[in-house]
Each structure stands twice: as structure tokens, then as C-alpha cells.
Amino acid sequence: MKNLQEATERICELKGSLVTLDALLPALVQMLPPQSRTQLMESFESHAEAARTVMLHADISDLVLNTFERDVTRYRAVLASSSDAATPGRVAGSLDPLLLTAAKITTFQRARLLTGASGFFFRRGERLFVVTNRHVFSDVSSGHFPDRIEIEMHTDAHDLTQFATCSIPLYHDELGQWREATDSGGTVDVAVLELDAGELPEGAVYRAFDETHLEPRGEAVSLGDALTIVGFPLGFHDTIHHLAVARSASIASAYGVRFQQQGCFLTDARTHRGISGAPVLRRRTHVSSQAAPLPWQLLGVHSTRMDMRTRDQSQDESLGLNCVWYADVLMALTAAPTSAPDDGART
């Protein structure tokens, strides 16, 4: 009886120690920076799989295996909940973070509404930009000269119906505040506008691409590859939750080659007005922790539909091809301002 009592007491002590560890783990995880938390979760999954493989080939009872799986699930939940609580603007649930990179842009001339377009957020160091087409900010050929834009931003990580509208002037002292670029083929139809973090709504919820999403990481981009375009075609979107929609596309010209000597390539996709400025993305095959939670390669910025002037509209369908400007221009456009901007970037 004495031995049984001692065994029971020892089991109770072990349970108490386990509860203490359960309290300590989230406290330790919350002290880690976001990237380290992501790496910790990935490392835990890797080590758990290795341990699982060893036990499945060892003489271990089903009770031990079931306990192992139960505790892996429990610790996985602890790590995930700690990451959610510690990451500002973290969206709960199964929402794809890619949708939070998209910006619905509306252009105005004073109080008069002009057009709608798409854009996305891009971060370079501590600086945040909204990216879209140059013709969204200024277009001589159509007489389009807005003086401000409005973008919608979510303000509640758990209630996507909550949002705020940011009004951003395009000019200061009669000088355009966006950055654009030229190359050997002429004007590049991509522009960036830097956002003042202090002017964003309190608790703004968004995701931004950065330089890591431009890197190929050894993955080849080939003709016919599947792509995703996230934006607001004809202004269409989820008006309740203020989320963009995604269209499917594929690469229709030689990627890496300047189509018609312009800094662009072609996609085969069904697109509409209003999706100008949307990001054109390829899902990565090999995902690294640096890309999480956006496992995408940013290939370009959607611009315009391509067509043939000689097309007989009564007999021939439209080509269904689109011009996409290579995304590497963003490195020039978001570089720190200098007295002589590189690569043709200018304001």
C-alpha cells in the first residue's frame, strides 16, 4: 500500500509539473520576435515528425503513441495561440493573408470621384508603400489627373466588417508625391506612393510584400505557369468584409524577356477595368520561413489588356492577353531618395 501511495503522489507531482510547463511555454514564446516564433513552430513540427518516425519503428505501446499525438496537438495549439496574441494585426481564422495585401484605390479630383483601381502594399525596411499603375495617378492620354486617392484599410483583426478610409493627397506644393520610373523602352507603368505610418488608422490590419517576395530562390518561372491576380475588377469585391477577389492567369510570353522591348511580359487571363495595379503572383514550390505567411513570388504588376487594332469585333474575340510589368522595378522605386535617383526612378 505504501508503494502504491508513493506512486500516486509521484503521478500527481508529474501532473503539476506538466501544468507548470504549459504555463511557462506560452510566456516564453510571447517573448520571441515574430520571425523566431515562426521558425520555432516549423522546428517543432520537424522534430515532432522525426520523433514520430522513431517511435513507429520501436517497440512502444499504443498508449504512448496516443499520448504523444495528443501532446503534439496540444503544444501546437499553444504555439499558434501565442503567435496570434503576440502579432499585431493578426487575423484569426482561416483567412488567407494574401487578401490583406490588396488595396482598393479610388481616385478623386477634389470631391469628384474619378476612377477605381487596384494596388497592394510593399515594405522596404521601415518604409511602407502602396503600389499601383502610373496611369492611376496621372494619365495624359485620357486626361486623368486626380489630386488624391482613397484606400480602405481594415481596423479590427477579428471583425473584417470594420474598416477606415484613408485619404492621401497626390501633390504637395504642386509636386507629385509618387515615384515612377523609365527604362530603355520608355515610361514604366508602375508607381509607388509612400505611406506615413502615423497617418494610418489605429490598429490598421494589412499585409505587405517585401524584397524577399521578389527573389526567385532557385525556382524556375516557365511559360504556362499558373498565376494569381488579386484585385478589384470593375470595383467588384466582398463589400461586407472589404476583401478583394482573386483571378487565375498563366504566363503567356517568355518570362524574363522584355516583350516588344518593354519591361513587361504577358499573361493569359480574363481581366477587367479596375484591376489595374494588382499584384501578379506565383505560388512558391519550396516555402521557407522568410516567406511565411505569404508563400508567393511577386512577379509583376498588372497593367492593361492587350488587343489587335485590326481585330474584327463582329467576328473575333479579344485576345485575352494582358501586360504585366516586371516587379523588380520596385527595388528602384522604393530605394532611399537620393539627389540622382537610380534606374530612371523619379517623382
Do the strands 127-132 and 148-154 form a parallel or antiparallel pair, or are they unpaired? unpaired
What's the pLDDT tens digit per position in 60-98? 777 777 787 778 777 777 766 655 544 444 554 578 899
Across all residues in the chain, what is the average pLDDT? 85
Flag whether pLDDT at 153 surpasses 80: yes
Residue 279 and residue 259: Cα distance in Å, rounded? 19
State the pLDDT at residue 343. 47
Of 19-23, 129-133, 167-171, 286-290, the least confident: 286-290
Q: Any idea which residue has 504549459 for its cell?
A: 22
State the pLDDT at residue 342. 47
State the pLDDT at residue 88. 43
Cell of 5: 501511495
What is the Cα gyration radius of the chain?
A: 25
DSSP one-letter code for 261: G
What's the pLDDT tens digit per position in 204-250? 999 999 999 999 988 999 999 999 999 999 999 999 999 999 999 99
Chain CA centroid to CA 251, Å: 20
Flag whether pLDDT at 288 surpasses 90: no
Listing DSSP states for 197-258 in one string gives: GGGSPTT-B---B-GGGT--TT----TT-EEEEEE-GGG-SBTTTTB-EEEEEEE-S-TTS-
Cell of 260: 516588344
Provide the 10 A C-beta neighbour count for residue 48: 17
| Helix/strand/coil percentages in the chain, nearest 5 | 30, 30, 40
Do the strands 296-306 and 171-172 form a parallel or antiparallel pair, or are they unpaired? unpaired
Give the confidence band of 48 by pLDDT, cuts at 50, 70, 90. confident
Cβ-contact 72, 108 below 8 angstroms = no
Cβ-contact 180, 346 below 8 angstroms = yes
State the pLDDT at residue 340. 47
Residue among 134, 130, 127 at smallest CA distance from 153 = 130
Residue among 39, 32, 145, 41 at smallest CA distance from 87 = 32
Give start and end residues of each alpha helix (H) in 125-208.
Answer: 134-137
State the pLDDT at residue 14. 79
Residue 316 and residue 140: Cα distance in Å, rounded? 30
Residue among 204, 214, 195 at smallest CA distance from 128 = 195
Flag whether pLDDT at 198 surpasses 80: yes
Cell of 162: 470594420
| H or E stretch covering 142 | none
Of 233-242, 293-302, 311-320, the least confident: 311-320
| H or E stretch covering 212 | none
Flag whether pLDDT at 45 surpasses 90: no
State the pLDDT at residue 4. 74
State the pLDDT at residue 347. 56
More confident residue, 166 or 90: 166
State the pLDDT at residue 150. 97
Residue among 155, 149, 148 at smallest CA distance from 201 = 155
Residue 44 and residue 289: Cα distance in Å, rounded? 13
Phi-psi region for residue 235, left (φ > 0), alpha (ψ -120 to 50) or beta? left
State the pLDDT at residue 81. 61
Fill in the amino acid letter for 96.
Answer: D
The mean pLDDT value for 308-334 works out to 84
The mean pLDDT value for 121-133 works out to 96
More confident residue, 285 or 135: 135
Residue 252's alpha-carbon distances to 42, 60, 266, 321, in angstroms, are 36, 55, 5, 8
